[in-house]
Amino acid sequence: MARRLRPVEIDFVGAAPVRLVFARNIAAPPDRVFQALAEDVSGWPQWFSAVTLARATDGGAGREIRLRGGTRFAETVLVAKAPEVYAYRVDATNAPGARALVEEWRLTPHGTGTRVRWTFAADGTAPFRFVLVLARAGLKRAFRDAVTSLDRRLSRA
């Protein structure tokens, strides 16, 4: 990994200089969605097309993630509260300009399904923050496609 990031905690989700928040309703119930997010980490590449490798580390307390294009993350799980919230902090990455990054997946019941809300909270250099804001539409599309794919996958299981 190229650089270590600032070790922020879960409250960073509400205080980050850049917060990108996306939400979508799906048919799968919260407990199944939580299981796919938190307990089946190695399954992420099967439903999140940007992810090429995902594996739990440190007995599930961390994660190693690789994305298309070569970006890598070493992460620490901050919250795994079934079936409500799953959040992790990036500890090290090769992404230039990043200083702190937390992703939070919040799951709330919505009828018989789930409202999935993903918050991407970040800090970094001015160019990094600018690129994230420009990338909003792409991240929104990636989230929508991933959650739709996850929902299809869970409905078949």
**CA distances from residue 32 to 39, 79, 83, 92 in whole angstroms, order as listed:** 10, 17, 8, 29
Main-chain dihedrals φ then ψ at residue 108, nearest 5 degrees: -130, 145
User: Model confidence at 2, in pLDDT bands (50, 70, 90)?
Assistant: confident
Query: Per-residue pLDDT averaged across 46-68, rounded?
Result: 97
Give the pLDDT confidence of 107-144 residue by residue, as tens digits.
Answer: 999 999 999 999 999 999 999 999 999 999 999 999 99
Q: How far apart are CA 69 and CA 13, in angstroms?
A: 26
Give the pLDDT confidence of 14-23 residue by residue, as tens digits.
Answer: 999 999 999 9
pLDDT for 69? 94
